[in-house]
Amino acid sequence: MPVMETTRLSSKGQVVVPKSVRDARNWPPGTEFLVEEVDEGILLRPVSPFKRTEIEEVIGCTGYAGPRKSLDQMEDAIARGAKEQRARGRY
């Protein structure tokens, strides 16, 4: 069970999220939150830095127009590329 900590509402309506919680959640300064009212109080949800997308929106974004490749073919190509990069001293 998580450790409970207390905080206080400032005169400006600000609440400090305890450092242990920020660290555990990896929330850096400037993280934006959605604030949702729930029966028990409020719920803070960090806003995703990326817009939610559907696969149909991104298919074809690489510009590849050839035949479909299998997963094995893609993995082989990645391995060959990595080997070439290592041979050039880039890794």
Going from the N-terminus, what domains does the chain have, and what CATH number goes with each?
A: 7-49 (2.10.260)
> How high is the pLDDT of residue 60?
76
The token pair at 86 is: 């290592």
Amino acid 66 reads: G
Distance CA 19, CA 17 (A): 6
Element (H, E) at 37: strand 33-38
Distance CA 57, CA 71 (A): 21
> How high is the pLDDT of residue 75?
95
> How high is the pLDDT of residue 34?
94
Give the number of other CB atoms < 10 A from CB of residue 61: 7
**What SS3 state is found at 78?**
helix
Distance CA 87, CA 79 (A): 12
> How high is the pLDDT of residue 1?
58
The pTM of the full predicted model, rounded to 2 decimals, is 0.50
> How high is the pLDDT of residue 2?
66
One digit per residue, pLDDT tens: the chain, 91 residues? Answer: 567 889 999 999 999 999 999 999 999 999 999 999 999 999 999 998 778 888 888 877 777 778 888 999 999 999 999 999 998 887 6
> How high is the pLDDT of residue 18?
93
